Amino acid sequence: MTSYNLLILPGDGIGPEVAGEVEKLVAWFSNRGTVRFEVEKDLVGGAAYDASGLPITDETMQRALSADAVLFGAVGGPKWDGVAYDVRPEAGLLRLRKDLGLFANLRPAICYPALAEASALKREYVDGLNLVIVRELTGGVYFGEPKEVVTLENGEKRAVDTQIYTTHEIERIARVAFELARRRQGRVASAEKRNVMKTGVLWHQVVSEVHKDYPDVALEHILADNCGMQLVRNPKQFDVIVTDNLFGDLLSDVAAMLTGSLGMLPSASLGAEDLVTGKRRALYEPVHGSAPDIAGQGLANPLAMIGSFAMALRYSFGLVQEADLVEKAVANVLAAGVRTKDIAAPGAPTVGTAEVGDAVIRELDALTQ
Ligand code: NAD
Ligand code: IPM
Ligand code: MN
């Protein structure tokens, strides 16, 4: 029986709460006896900082590097507001992305029919919505140097972040977007700001060049601010949106609200395929953060985390039927009216984090009987 090495990094706030529900799914699949998961758990973010003074230790990094896949909850929170910038909780996640080479972040935004009323938009705008944001994840202003605050001679301070993109970085993320679009509706929108930024000019040029290898895919260039507006005006016009690290961060939070809640959006962060083994490093995490406002109350929606596990089944383990099964179970649970507060109509009954996880397990049982 195939055995996979899974590293779970629950993190902070609601991270451990939603990761706990995925552990139920991991156990469910292991108990079925067709696939085995060797699960390791470790600290990341504020929890790691409290234990070691670092948001991720070298030992944890080693585990992440040797795992078949990493499942990540969320990091950060007001408790760590005062810690030094270099060791803030979020730095642990950024190190994982950078050192694992996870340049391609897929953030699908799917509006389940049962949730069309939970969206911030009217039903007709979101019903049937199925788009994916392909966010570049290891470059741009997140990692460009210099990145600093300097004190000037007159005592004023100057803060600098640097947006950098190379041809290679743009080319490989563009290929991911075109390849993905080929398996979907065949449309890519590339979002940048070439009207203001040199990186935008290069982005536009390189994406156009890569497009020549994909004549079967339609390419549209769109300015990133307009893209944000179009996501709210008419989101169903989009199939695949490819964009840089920062724009991808913003646009995916916008896309989340089209689906009903930030608690619904999963993601996969993928590295390059190894030419010899065909394997790729990967980390799966919900798009949302540690949600300090609801942490510790059992209110968090675990479906973004559960959806991220489904993406791990699909992209890291090639367990496509199992991934479909999880997604079907989630759709059925939603269709049955099971709702955490974030996706419930005002006044409608709600359940907690664990009840949603349990409902998904019951549905998995029912679907496989
Ligand atoms: P957030 O995503 O944590 O929360 C934004 C809002 O969405 C909150 O009202 C929250 O209650 C709600 N929300 C988020 N996830 C939810 C879920 N699963 N179920 C129900 N409601 C949910 O963003 P924030 O408040 O801006 O950031 C809080 C902390 O999280 C910060 O420290 C930030 O840096 C960090 N953060 C971490 C990640 C990550 O670890 N990947 C992502 C985003 C933010
Ligand atoms: C995300 C988060 C992260 C980001 C933070 C926590 C570093 O907002 O994954 O969307 O900005 O990439
Ligand atoms: Mn974000």
pLDDT above 90 (res 357): yes
* ipTM here: 0.99
260 and 119 in contact (C-beta within 8 Å)?
yes
Q: Which CATH class is domain 120-259?
A: alpha beta
Percentage of the chain beyond pLDDT 70 is 100
- State pLDDT tens for residues 4-40: 999 999 999 999 999 999 999 999 999 998 899 999 9
**Would you call 225 a catalytic residue per the annotation?**
yes
In the chain, beta strands by DSSP E:
3-11, 36-41, 69-74, 104-110, 130-136, 144-151, 157-162, 187-192, 218-223, 240-243, 268-270, 282-284
The reply to whether omega before 349 is within 30° of 0 (cis) is no
At 216, the pLDDT band (50, 70, 90 cuts) reads very high
Structure pTM?
0.97
**Would you call 42 a catalytic residue per the annotation?**
no
pLDDT for residue 278 = 86
Q: Count CB-CB contacts under 10 A for residue 66.
A: 11
CATH topology of domain 1-105+263-369: Isopropylmalate Dehydrogenase (3.40.718)
Mean local confidence (pLDDT), 113-138:
94
- State pLDDT tens for residues 298-322: 999 999 999 999 999 999 999 999 9
Q: For residue 31, report the distance from its CA to the centre of ligand 3, in Å.
A: 34
pLDDT for residue 342 = 96
Mutate to test the pocket of ligand 2, among 14, 85, 90, 134 (most ligand atoms within 8 A of CB): 90
Lowest mean pLDDT among 109-113, 171-175, 325-329: 109-113
Strand-pair category, 144-151 with 104-110: unpaired
Q: Ligand 1 pocket by C-beta < 6 Å: which residues? A: 14, 18, 74-77, 90, 93, 261-263, 285, 288-294, 300-301, 304, 342
- The active-site residue out of 142, 165, 214, 315 is 142
pLDDT above 90 (res 2): no
What is the spatial distance between Cα 366 and Cα 346, in angstroms, rounded to a whole number?
30
Helices (H), 33-146: 46-52, 58-66, 89-99, 123-126
Cα Dmax for the chain = 74
pLDDT above 90 (res 198): yes
- The active-site residue out of 50, 127, 253, 358 is 253
pLDDT for residue 148 = 98
Q: For residue 313, report the distance from its CA to the centre of ligand 1, in Å.
A: 24
Is 98 assigned a ligand-binding role in the annotation? Answer: no
Residue range(s) in the chain whose domain bears CATH number 3.40.718.10: 1-105+263-369, 120-259
Mean local confidence (pLDDT), 240-259:
97
